[in-house]
Amino acid sequence: MCGIAGFVNLDGAPADARVLSAMTDMVRHRGPDDRGALCVALRGGMPDTALGFHRLSILDLSTLGHQPMSGAGGTAVMFNGEIYNAQDLQAELEQAGDRFRSRSDAEVILALYERHGIDAVIERLDGMFAIVIADPRHGVVHLVRDHFGIKPLYWTQCGQTVMFASEAKAFLAHPSFRAEIDAAHVDELLAFRYVAGEGSLLKGVRHVRPGHRLTIAPDGVRSVRYWRIPDHPDTSALTRPEAVDRLADLLAGSVRAQLRSDVKVGCQLSGGIDSSLVAILAGGVDSFSIVFDEAKFSEEQWIVTAAAAARSASHRFSFDGGAFIDALDAASWHMDQPISVPNSLALWLLAQRSREHVTVLLSGEGADELFAGYARFANADTVDVEVFIRATQFHSDGRLAKLRPGADLRPAIDKRRALFLEGRADQLSNCLKYEMQTHLVDLLSRQDRMMMAHGIENRVPFLGRDVVEFARTLAPQHLAGKTVVKDLARRSFAAAFVDRRKAGFNLPLGQYFRSARFVELMEDRLLPGMAARGLVDVAVVRRWWRRALSAPSTTEGFWIPVALELWAQQFIDRPRPH
């Protein structure tokens, strides 16, 4: 897990090493173990391309894993993530005549590219990755993001300069970039809590979408989709017990592959079924959890149960209002977008405290989106597409109109409808595919930012390619209500554990928002900031906040504009780095 930053001057202008250094500084938290920089010439003459890297050492902790890593032909590679089949690929390449200096995944990617080209790299890799390959022989730079968007990769173009980075904040250090809010995405952010697809809240800043690669050449940028979430449900013809057996084998294999590390690995353990299954299969590694003093919100009894079943040493960290307030500004900076789900701040604390013990954590992300774990999937077969899309809309059109007069959600709905209509299977399968391309990508982004802020690599065994491919073959009756996952959990846990109502990861927000520190923050900084920025009706936010102070169930209603203002103060108002 690492931090990438760099740029290409399409007009051949010399790359400024000082600018590269400043951009690389912005992602140093992602890789505290090593730093590298390289300037290369894509078209001969002066170096016009700059590559900066911060390394978090996970495999081969020696200096042989230093990046950017260059090959004999002049190709340079930067790689953030883990390749779970790297050992198999290395053995295959060695048999073909390649010789390796290290055990790093980056060297495997470099050798695979130099022998077979970009298509082979993409086709053969199983893992989570953001990859940059600068190839002076062909005068191009490739940007590649993994199949599901586990690892982030941003890009933007300012004039004749194309920039790329693991986190958008790196662009703030380039003199050509100006941080502005993209007003076209504000309505979607306020309604859905995140921006779907390639766009972002920063004007001109885009994600390399999951399953896509970009090629940067002197004549511009070209995007290619190299992988799609498969559409082949109900092709396995497995009985329910057979489906559970198959899931057990594949998930166990995915966990084994993701335990590969030269540093200590642990598990995030929420007490829910998904993370508990991962902990069971990880076989005795330490587990790390957030708990609350308020019994209504704490899952501690289930965490203790799961840790005992997994033979795991349980590390439980208490989260309270002080920790919530303390993390607001720093977490907003690291998130790269508004912290629209407040429990992200608990993940911040979890990563901070876990880093005292481990460098890698496994988590249960992806299970709900693969195996229909949310209540909104219950009637998916009979629901209209737009009704399903709007099921995750946090503010109704009426409330949004009060918060932001003149708001228009139609562009966001149309964009999301187009994503939904990429599905070519039964309606439940299409709903799950839509979730994987929208909600899941946002969850993975949250995990990455909160973990990497403290130098923790997060891995997601449910998103191993074999597990995903298998899930996409299952008949609706094996998916509805998360059937096969729950049946697998019954092999390790009692019915009371498996069949309890899904709790989510809720915080006692009413208590936090009534604290003197938060009241002061709202009155002194946030409400005045909103009023000056003019994106929302500050009188409506104040009214909702006052209501939330006496009715805790309404607390999250005003949180999204609060999160937007916190982010804007960090990204728009913050002085530019020198």
- pLDDT, tens digit (0-9, with 9 covering 90-100), for 384-397: 999 999 999 988 89
Averaged confidence pLDDT in the chain: 93
Tokens linked to 476: 């609706």
pLDDT tens digits, one per residue of 393-423 = 988 899 999 999 999 999 999 999 999 999 9
pLDDT at 233: 65
Distance CA 451, CA 255 (A): 19
Tokens of 437: 């391309």
pLDDT exceeds 60 at position 552: no
**What element of type H or E holds 350?**
helix 344-354
pLDDT at res. 553: 56
The CATH topology of domain 240-378+443-498 is Rossmann fold (3.40.50)
Distance CA 273, CA 485 (A): 8
At 529 the pLDDT is 97
Is residue 455 left, alpha or beta, with left meaning phi > 0 and alpha meaning psi from -120 to 50?
left
In the numeric block, the tokens 């020198």 are attached to: 578
Instruction: Report, as an integer, the average pLDDT of 16-20.
Output: 97
Residue 297's pLDDT is 76
**Which residue type, as a one-letter code, is found at position 353?**
R
Q: Degrees (nearest 5) of the Cα angle 19, 25, 30?
A: 140
**Homologous superfamily in CATH for domain 2-225:** Aminohydrolase, N-terminal nucleophile (Ntn) domain (3.60.20.10)
DSSP state of 32: B
Each domain of the chain, given as residue ranges in start order, spans 2-225, 240-378+443-498, 509-571
* pLDDT of res. 235: 64
Contact 512, 325 (CB under 8 A): yes
Rg (the chain; Cα; Å)? 23
Report the percentage of the chain scoring pLDDT > 90.
85
Query: Do residues 173 and 577 touch, judged by C-beta distance below 8 A?
Result: yes
Of 319-323, 437-441, 547-551, 560-564, where does mean pLDDT reach its minimum? 547-551
DSSP, collapsed to helix, strand or coil, labels residue 280 as helix
The token pair at 373 is 């774990």
pLDDT value for 549: 76
31 contacts 53 by C-beta, under 8 angstroms = yes
So what's the pLDDT on residue 293? Answer: 78
The predicted model gives 223-232 an average pLDDT of 94
Q: Give the model confidence (pLDDT) of 142-171 as tens digits.
A: 999 999 999 999 999 999 999 999 999 999
Give the whole-angstrom CA distance, residue 144 versus residue 113.
12
Strand, coil or helix: 244: helix
- The confidence score (pLDDT) of residue 550 equals 73
| Identical fold between 2-225 and 240-378+443-498 | no
- Which pLDDT belongs to residue 555? 63
What is the pLDDT at residue 266? 98
pLDDT digits (tens, 9 = 90+) for 284-330: 999 999 998 777 778 899 999 999 999 999 999 999 999 999 999 99
> Are the CB atoms for 442 and 194 separated by under 8 Å?
yes
Mean pLDDT of 11-20: 96
- In this prediction, residue 481 carries a pLDDT of 85
Say whether pLDDT at 504 is over 70: no
Structure tokens at 71: 């090959």
pLDDT at 333: 96
Whole-structure pTM value: 0.95
Does residue 551 have a pLDDT over 80?
no
- 278 vs 378: CA distance, rounded Å: 25
pLDDT per residue over 329-377, tens digit each?
Answer: 999 999 999 998 899 999 999 999 999 999 999 999 999 999 999 989 9
Sign of the Cα pseudo-torsion (268, 271, 274, 277, in order)? positive
Q: What is the 3-state secondary structure (H, E, C) of 189-230?
A: HHHHCCCCCCCCCECCCEECCCCEEEEEECCEEEEEECCCCC
Cα first-last separation, the chain: 26
Q: Residue 556: its pLDDT value, please?
A: 64
β partners of residue 6:
51, 164
* pLDDT for residue 508: 83
Q: Which one is predicted more confidently, 205 or 284?
A: 205
Mean pLDDT of 528-547: 94
Find out whether 343 and 379 touch, Cβ atoms under 8 Å: no
Tell me the three state secondary structure of residue 221. strand
> For the segment 451-477, what is each residue's pLDDT rounded down to a tens digit?
999 999 999 999 999 999 999 999 888
